[in-house]
Every structure is written in C-alpha cells, then in structure tokens.
Amino acid sequence: MALPQRLEARTLGLIAFVVAISLMVGVAAGIQPRYGVAAALGLTFAGAVLANLTLGVLLFTLLSFLEVVNAGSGAVSFMKVAGLIVFLSWLAAQTLHTRTRAGRALFVSAPVLSTGVVAFVAWSVMSAAWAVDSGTAVSSSSRFVLDALLFPVVFGAIRRREHVVWFIAAFVIGAVISAMIGLAQSGGGRLAGGIGDFDAEAALLVTAMTLDAGLIATLPRGSALRSLAIVAAVIMGVAMIDTGSRGGVVALGVVLLAAVIFGGRWRRRAVVVAAVVAVLVPFYFFLLAPSAAIQHLNSDSSTGRTDLWRVGIKMWEANPVLGVGAGNFPVTAVQYVQSSGPLTRADVIVDVPHVTHNTYLEILDELGPLGLIALLTIAIGSIASALRAARLYERAGQQKFGLMSRSIALALVGLLSADFFISNEYEHLLWLLLAVPPALLALARSDARALTR
C-alpha cells in the first residue's frame, strides 16, 4: 500500500475511533449527565497522562479535591480508575526507560518508608483471612493497594525541583476550587466544599494553607503569583473556619507550633505568622463566621465521635493482636455496644454504622498494632525525608527549596494531626502528600552532589 493510502487509512481509523468514543460519551450523558461528564474528564485525563506522567499526577492531585466528579462508588469510582491510569502510564514509562528506573530506585532513596508501605499493604491483604467480613477486607485492601502505588508513581513523576513547585501549586489550586465550591453552596451553613465533608475539607484546607505559606515566602515580592498565593490563603482560611471543624482548628494550631519548633532559620517568621493567625482567626470567628459554624464550635453536644472511640477501644481490647480485618470496624462495632457502657449516640453504631472518626484508632482496631506501626513508619519516614531534604538544600545554599521542603513536612504534620478526628486512611491526597518527600529527598541529594562538584 502506498504511503498516501496508508495515511488515509490511519486518518479514517482515527476518525472512526473518535466518533465511536464520542457516541459512547453521548450515550453515557443521555443515561446520566454526570456519567457523561465523568467520561469526558476521563478521556481528557487519560490523554494527558499518556502524554506526560508528571502532568497526569498534577491533574490527579487537582481532581482529588473534587469528589463531586465521582460518578461511581465502591471499587469503580472515577478517581480509582484515574489512579489506575496513572499507574499504568508509569509502568509503561519504566518498561521503556530502564536507566531512569535503576537510577532513581524508591527503595534506595527511602528504604524504611518503602518497607513500611509494603508491610502495611501486605498486612491489610492478609487480614482478609481472619476478618469477620472477608469481602469487605479485600475491597478495603484493594483501596490501600491503589494508594500505595502512588509512591513509585510520584517518585517517577517528580524528576526536577520545578515539579515539586508544580505539585504544591496543583494542591493549592485544588483546595481553592474546593473552598470556593463550598463558599458558593454553604448558604450560611457549615462549609463542606468539593470534598463533601466538613472535617475532611478542613483538614485538607489546613494542609493546603501550609503549602501555600511556603509558596508565599519564596515567591518574589510584588509578583503577580505571590499576590495570587496570598488571595488563595485568604480564601482557604475563610473556608476553613466556615467548616466549623474542631479538628481543623486543632490541626492549624499544631502546624503553627510545629513551624516554630522545626522552623530552622525561618523560626522568627514562623513566630510572626503564628501571632498574626492567632489574632485574625478569633477576629473572623467572632465577627464574620456563619452562625452554624460558630454554634458547632461552641456546642458541647455529642456528635457520636466519643461513643465511636469508646467502642473502638473496646474492640481493640477484644482483638489486641490481629484486629478485626481491614474495613471491618462498621461491620463489627455493634458487637461492642453493651460492653462500652452508656452511649449517647448508639444510632451511629447500630442504625447507621459509622467509621471510627479517628484514623489511628481505626487502623488499630482493624489491623492491630502491626498495622498501626506500619502506618506510623510511613508517616514519620515521610516527614523525616522532607526535613532531611530541607537541610540538604539549605546547606547547599538553596534556601527557597529548603523552605518548600519544610512546608511539605509541616503540611503532613497538619494533615496527620487532623486525622485524629476523621477516618482518613483511604484519602488519595494523604497518600499523594506522603509520597512526595522520598522523591524530594532524592532530588536534594542529587542537587547537593551537583553543587559540590
């Protein structure tokens, strides 16, 4: 076949493929509009990921803030499919570029953290053997597997210092969009944002504000980008208070305290920022915050969280070694109601079973001490990697990236502090942020060697 004929055949084939995909999207939109939206987003996302893995990770970060685009549930949600696409793209890149894979091995950069990830996922999968509901354990473990795959993906996607800046920017932009959705929809009530949950939204807003503070401190004074970052901080701060989340307020306080303790050469600025926040937050809270948020923060009425914690403690006492199996807290909680003493909100356990509303207690209940130790190994290892990267950059005279590395460590401290009040172990954004420091540390080591030659 002549070249023009081959090109014509390829063109016709491409047109036929595009028409077929368009028809499928149209049918999906006709059945349910949100399915059509999800299909269109999915095609756009898949194209971006195949073109550039780094861009795919940035888009995945951005979309993770918008749970409203999730057209499915359970094991086939949009974000799970998106995560799988990102992983397959990374796998293809690793197959084609073996030198990159050998030179930037994740286990070499962060062996303890990597071991913790493998151990955590393996133990979760094994828990199906003794779980009350093995199907739930398998389903929950599959979610952990997808989250754990973000570690090698992010490690392969973040190859330059600029990629770290882009990731932080994507995280902040996603948080701002989520906050603006909440501000537009709250109507004077508590703000749930694009995440759809008051406490989870507050936790992520505190995290994003911490990352944004690193951007503000390092961007040139008077620049348009710095002004936008400041506006973003104001929007996120207002939205965080409007959630009325006690956990969010606690997480913000922990971040400010940690910034003073681990601020290094930036400690004085951290003290100033902490003082300003200590003045502005009460000012907005007492004068401008929605009444629903104020009432919730001031209320001493039970939301059921303390009852869930009491049941969770009893569950661990009854299963101190292995736990009840991944995802099995809601399934088995009703068995411990009577032994937990008087409960004010038994309905959140009996009628509509809830999760523990404490990430660490839930992991302890479901996976036992070994599961909790593995999770803490991941968390501490990630924070330590970010702080080590900060010190390497600062010694090399790269103060800007040293500060950004510290902001990532502080953001993790804030998010992990908020997790005392929510069950957040499956959150993609938590695992994305945990996955960044190993790549950051590898970059810092490489840059430090290059600068000392």
Residue 75: what pLDDT? Answer: 38
Q: What is the percent of the chain with per-residue pLDDT over 90, rounded to a whole number?
A: 48
Does residue 427 have a pLDDT over 70? yes
In Å, how far are 45, 166, 171, 294 from 161, measured between CA atoms? 24, 9, 16, 41
In which band, very low, low, confident or very high, does the pLDDT at 386 lie, cut at 50, 70 and 90?
very high
In which band, very low, low, confident or very high, does the pLDDT at 102 lie, cut at 50, 70 and 90?
very low
Q: What torsion, rounded to 10 degrees, do the Cα atoms 130, 133, 134, 136 define?
A: -130
**pLDDT tens track for 49-74:** 777 888 889 988 988 887 644 434 44
Mean of all residue pLDDT scores within the chain = 83
Among 27-36, 271-280, 347-356, 404-413, the range scoring the smallest mean pLDDT is: 27-36
Residue 191: what pLDDT? Answer: 84
In which band, very low, low, confident or very high, does the pLDDT at 283 lie, cut at 50, 70 and 90?
confident
**pLDDT tens track for 163-198:** 999 999 999 999 999 999 988 887 777 888 888 888
Residue 130: what pLDDT? Answer: 95
Residue 190: what pLDDT? Answer: 82
Residue 221 tokens read as: 């004074």
Residue 327: what pLDDT? Answer: 95
Among 5-9, 92-96, 126-130, 437-441, the range scoring the smallest mean pLDDT is: 5-9
Among 238-242, 306-310, 342-346, the range scoring the smallest mean pLDDT is: 342-346
Q: According to the per-residue pLDDT averaged within each range, which of 206-210, 259-263, 274-278 is highest? A: 206-210
Residue 52: what pLDDT? Answer: 80
Residue 281: what pLDDT? Answer: 80
In which band, very low, low, confident or very high, does the pLDDT at 277 lie, cut at 50, 70 and 90?
confident
Q: What is the mean pLDDT of residues 114-140?
A: 96
Collapse the DSSP code of 105 into the 3-class scheme (helix H, G, I; strand E, B; otherwise coil) and give the result: coil
Among 35-49, 135-149, 191-205, 354-368, the range scoring the smallest mean pLDDT is: 35-49
Among 147-151, 195-199, 371-375, the range scoring the smallest mean pLDDT is: 195-199
Nearest by Cα to 163 from 440, 448, 450: 440
Residue 38: what pLDDT? Answer: 60
Residue 340: what pLDDT? Answer: 79
Q: What torsion, rounded to 10 degrees, do the Cα atoms 74, 198, 236, 444 define?
A: -50
Q: What is the mean pLDDT of residues 63-86?
A: 62
Task: Give the burial string for 244-267 (b: 16+ CB within 10 Å, else e).
Answer: bbbbbbbbbbbbbebbbebbeebe
**pLDDT tens track for 321-353:** 999 999 999 999 989 888 877 777 777 787 778
When comparing pLDDT for 16 and 227, which is higher?
227
**Which amino acid belongs to residue 433?**
L
Between CA 430 and CA 206 the distance in angstroms is: 13
In Å, how far are 173, 174, 192, 193, 228 from 66, measured between CA atoms? 11, 8, 11, 8, 21
Residue 344 tokens read as: 């004010």
Angle at 65 between CA 438 and CA 61, to 5 degrees: 35
Does residue 141 have a pLDDT over 80? yes
Residue 10: what pLDDT? Answer: 46
Q: What is the percent of the chain with per-residue pLDDT over 70, rounded to a whole number?
A: 79
Residue 393: what pLDDT? Answer: 93
Residue 14: what pLDDT? Answer: 44
**Residue 37 CB coordination number (10 Å):** 17
Residue 401: what pLDDT? Answer: 93
Residue 437: what pLDDT? Answer: 96
Domain ranges of the chain: 3-94, 104-303+350-452
Q: What is the mean pLDDT of residues 370-397?
A: 95
Among 69-73, 92-96, 438-442, the range scoring the smallest mean pLDDT is: 69-73
